[in-house]
Amino acid sequence: MDMADVKAELIDEARRLGFAACGVTSVRPFTEARTRALSAIDAGRMDGMAWYTRDRVEASADIGGRYPWARSIIALAWPYRPARPVHPSDPDGTIRGRFSAYACTEDGGRAVDYHDLLAQRCDALVAWLSERVDEVRAKRFVDHGWALDRAIAERAGIGFAGKHASVITVTAGSYVLLASVAVSVALPIDAPSQRGCGHCTACLPSCPTGAIVAPGVIDARRCISYLTIEHRGPIPEELRPLMGTWAFGCDLCQEACPINERLAPEPLAVGAPSTAHGPVPHPDLVECLELTDAEFTARFRGTAVSRTGRAGLARNCAIALGNAGDGGALPALRRSAATDPDAVVREAAHWGIAQLTGSRTQAPD
């Protein structure tokens, strides 16, 4: 079968599986992206992400060297729906925070971890390819895989890196999750995207913590996504008032992007009122602050939010409640400050109380 025909059908199949975009690039090393990633490590902008090492970058930049059988890389983008921002308090007094929209990924109405969802769809695409081409070998990479997924997406032409550092696709803006699959099939490659942000700079001032330190350059140490998901221990105190009511991730720079505004699908509404069945765009912060370990596991197991652990989410909610400015949170914050089993959560609860009352109620442990 002609490889141009295989590729055309592959792209159709990727769309049928739910991907917003699919392109193909070569296994040639990603030298520019490698240099950028190593510079970020050297400058300390990735501090706190112990897993993001120089060795990892070197290996990720050279998929062809690691997998000598690989002949091309399929780049894929999975669309997710943005959440509509709401006022932090409901009329009934519920104080709501925010979960990043990607954390609320669903499959058939069931909350799922996007890693699992994308891995499953990538495998389905490889299975499809294996029915058309003999003896296909494949290696997939989803987010934490050792691949420079943004560079792959750009070179395969499925999008371009915005000044907020996320890849912007034609059909779903930057509200996409990226995946890549190295395959032993020499598929025709695509040209890199020629599009770009132009003169727009709308996302730069939208970042409340100043984490976008230059166009396309994020200082992860200041990014709310990193602080609420990856960072362990107390969050630096000077950043806490800038974090708003984000309890998991942050979408502000994406929400500021006019391309997203034009191209993204219909925003999610407020969503389900509680997290009883998994992540929701606007979670009840008091409810999440007071979850037990067993309740946290029951609600968030198998979803992206499980990455914070119970104590990480409670820490984030204590800070978000301090920032929400609603004194109705004080009883819950006082309970957490006194009884939460985790010292980091107790300290964050004291901070939240101090934000709402103007003074620390008790010296933290």
Catalytic pick from 47, 107, 116, 143?
143
Q: Residue 116 catalytic? A: no
Toward ligand SF4, which CB reaches closer, 23 or 173? Answer: 173
Q: What share of the chain is helix, strand, coil (3-state, %, to 5)?
A: 45, 15, 45
Toward ligand SF4, which CB reaches closer, 76 or 207? Answer: 207
189 binds ligand SF4 (CB under 6 A): no
CB 238 within 8 A of CB 222: no
CB 34 within 8 A of CB 148: yes
Q: Within positions 163 to 182, which residues make up the interface with ligand SF4, using CB under 6 A?
A: 163-164
Q: How far is the CB of 181 from ligand SF4 (least distance, A)?
A: 26
275 binds ligand SF4 (CB under 6 A): no
Q: How far is the CB of 212 from ligand SF4 (least distance, A)?
A: 5
Q: Which residue is nearest to ligand SF4 (CB)?
A: 162
Q: What is the DSSP string of 328-339?
A: GGHHHHHHHHHH
112 binds ligand SF4 (CB under 6 A): no
Report d(CA 257, CA 266) in Å as an integer: 15
CB 42 within 8 A of CB 172: no
Q: How far is the CB of 160 from ligand SF4 (least distance, A)?
A: 9
Binding letters toward ligand SF4, positions 241-270, x by CB under 6 A: ---------x-xx--xx-x-----------
49 binds ligand SF4 (CB under 6 A): no
Q: Where would I find the beta strands (DSSP E) of the chain?
A: 21-25, 72-79, 98-99, 106-107, 110-111, 138-142, 160-161, 167-168, 176-183, 212-214, 217-218, 246-248
Altogether, the residues listed in the chain come to a count of 365
61 closest CA partner among 155, 138, 126 = 155
Candidates 126, 142, 151, 203: give the one binding ligand SF4 (CB under 6 A): 203
Report d(CA 172, CA 103) in Å as an integer: 17
CB 174 within 8 A of CB 202: no
Q: How far is the CB of 251 from ligand SF4 (least distance, A)?
A: 7
End-to-end CA distance of the chain: 69
**Contacting range for ligand SF4; rule: CB under 6 A; set: 176-184, 187-195, 198-206, 267-275:** 198-206
Q: Within positions 211 to 240, which residues make up the interface with ligand SF4, using CB under 6 A?
A: 211-212, 218, 223-225
Q: How far is the CB of 245 from ligand SF4 (least distance, A)?
A: 13
Report d(CA 143, CA 118) in Å as an integer: 9
Contacts with ligand SF4, residue ranges (CB under 6 A): 162-164, 197, 200-203, 206-207, 209, 211-212, 218, 223-225, 250, 252-253, 256-257, 259
Q: Which residues are the active-site residues?
A: 143
